[in-house]
Amino acid sequence: MQKTVYENYKYSLQDTAKVYIGAKYTFAELLEQDDVAFKFRLIVERYILAEKEVDPEDTLETHLYYLKPDSFLVKIYDRIKARVKINIIEEKKGIFGRGKKRYVTKELNIRELTAMTPEEKEAKGVVIQEISMSKLALAGF
């Protein structure tokens, strides 16, 4: 019998301009993956894990969810032009005035994400899917 492991949102993709990384990776797993961009693994090892508030067993999702706007890491993510893809609950009004709630996918930069407190994120039903960053910004880091 074959054992399968559910690894949704654990991926690393690249196109000509960006690198996309799924949010379910832990930082320890990111460092072990060969298909993750070398520069990003270097940033994780040298800068992100060097901070006292980050544990290697934290997922990228929880790290980004609880990241504070005054953290040094926001500057790092800002410098590599990181964007975060999230799902958020929005209410759309119909013609009869009734509101219908549904999940909408949005892409925010790191400053927009950290501007929301964890309580606001929970109230809006924010689910972090992936982080993307510019290859050019990674090369220049």
User: SS3 for the chain, per residue?
Assistant: CCCCCCCCCCCEEECCCEEEEECCCEHHHHHHCCCCCHHHHHHHHHHHCCCCCCCCCCEHHHHHHCCCCCCHHHHHHHHCCCEEEEEEEEEEECCCCCEEEEEEEEEEEHHHHHHCCHHHHHHHCCEEEEEEEEHHHHHCC
Half-sphere exposure of residue 102: CA atoms within 13 angstroms, side-chain side: 7
| pLDDT tens track for 93-113 | 767 767 788 889 999 999 999
Domain span at residue 79 reads 12-85+109-115+130-139
The per-residue pLDDT for range 36-55, each reduced to its tens digit, is 999 999 999 999 999 888 89
Task: Report the domain count for the chain.
Answer: 1
Q: Confirm whether 68 is domain-assigned.
A: yes
- The predicted pLDDT at position 100 comes to 83
Q: How far apart are CA 2 and CA 51, in angstroms?
A: 39
- Report yes or no on 35 lying in a domain: yes
Average pLDDT, the chain: 88
Give this prediction's pTM: 0.83
What CATH number is attached to the domain comprising 79?
Answer: 3.30.465
